[in-house]
Amino acid sequence: MVDGRPRYHLADCTHLMGRATEGLPVAEAVELGFSPCGLCRPVDRLVAAAAQR
Ligand SMILES: [Zn+2]
């Protein structure tokens, strides 16, 4: 997640290169009104991770 940007990313998203990031639970980011990045698709990744359980 990037400070001051209303979008959250996966930790390995190329959008985050060279930027200071801050870890935040996705549920919290969604609660704050953040939207998922269209490039790294955090939602897709989370759904896939949940499906593996
Ligand atoms: Zn991203």
28 alpha carbon – ligand 1 mean position (Å): 17
2 alpha carbon – ligand 1 mean position (Å): 10
Tell me whether residue 41 is in a domain: yes
37 alpha carbon – ligand 1 mean position (Å): 4
40 alpha carbon – ligand 1 mean position (Å): 4
Tell me whether residue 2 is in a domain: no
Do 6 and 38 contact (CB within 8 A), yes or no? no
For residue 5, the SS3 value is coil
Tell me whether residue 35 is in a domain: yes
pLDDT at 20: 75
Expressed as residue numbers, the domain containing 37 is 7-51
pLDDT at 1: 58
For residue 21, the SS3 value is strand
Tell me whether residue 11 is in a domain: yes
End-to-end alpha carbon distance in the chain: 24
pLDDT at 3: 60
Q: Which residues are paired to 35 by β-bridges?
A: 7
Task: Give per-residue pLDDT as tens, 1-53.
Answer: 556 667 888 878 888 777 777 777 878 878 888 888 888 887 777 777 788 76
**Number of domain units in the chain:** 1
